[in-house]
Amino acid sequence: METCPPSLDRCGIILSEINLGTPMDTTPNGLVCPACFQVNDFECKQEEELQCTGDQNNCLAVTGTATRGN
């Protein structure tokens, strides 16, 4: 994967050359997963439901910290 230097706009060119294949099916399939996004805190204060779509049938738990670079 190529990293785009701040002075060049090559990301748009690179992404436009990638064949993404069949578009993802965004039709809700009746399954739901728990979801939470919390800013400035590690504890989920309000859990929500995320609608699964297409052939999605598994939930994924991801925990982490996002930081912005300089």
pLDDT-based confidence at residue 21 (cuts at 50, 70, 90): low
The model scores a pTM over 0.75: no
Residue 54 pLDDT greater than 80, yes or no: yes
Q: What is the CA radius of gyration of the chain?
A: 17
pLDDT band for position 18 (cuts 50, 70, 90): low
Residue ranges per structural domain of the chain: 23-63
pLDDT at 6 over 70: no
